[in-house]
Amino acid sequence: DGGITQSPKYLFRKEGQNVTLSCEQNLNHDAMYWYRQDPGQGLRLIYYSQIVNDFQKGDIAEGYSVSREKKESFPLTVTSAQKNPTAFYLCASSIWGGGKGEAFFGQGTRLTVV
């Protein structure tokens, strides 16, 4: 079955540590996205990528980094520069162009700072 797989489902980070969240899709979508979700704030865009080896900052990119070396994969690194990383992180993918293509979401990764 086609879909988006995020791993791990739960992740714990110590202060000052970098962690990487995995996102893989087999939908053959060109575009991939990372969102952060906090209670009562909806979804906020961190980074997005339209094509391999290219990505753009979203609304809250500070303290995060991404790479897009393969069409299927779009990992997100939460760096030590992100001062409040505890949140639910969602990866999504879609076709690119025209705005008609809805986003397909993974099951999310809940990151907690300990």
Partner 1 sequence: AQSVTQLGSHVSVSEGALVLLRCNYSSSVPPYLFWYVQYPNQGLQLLLKYTSAATLVKGINGFEAEFKKSETSFHLTKPSAHMSDAAEYFCAVSPKANSGGGADGLTFGKGTHLIIQP
Which residues in this chain contact partner 1 in the complex, by CB under 8 A? 4, 6, 31, 33, 35, 40-43, 45, 48, 50, 56, 58, 88, 90, 92, 94-108, 110
Residue 20: closest CA among 107, 100, 82, 102: 82
- Name the residue nearer to partner 1 (CB basis): 49 or 82: 49
> Least distance from C-beta 16 to partner 1, angstroms?
27
To which H or E segment does residue 51 belong? strand 43-51
- Name the residue nearer to partner 1 (CB basis): 47 or 113: 47
Residue 96, C-beta contacts closer than 8 angstroms, at least 6 positions apart: 29, 30, 31, 50, 51
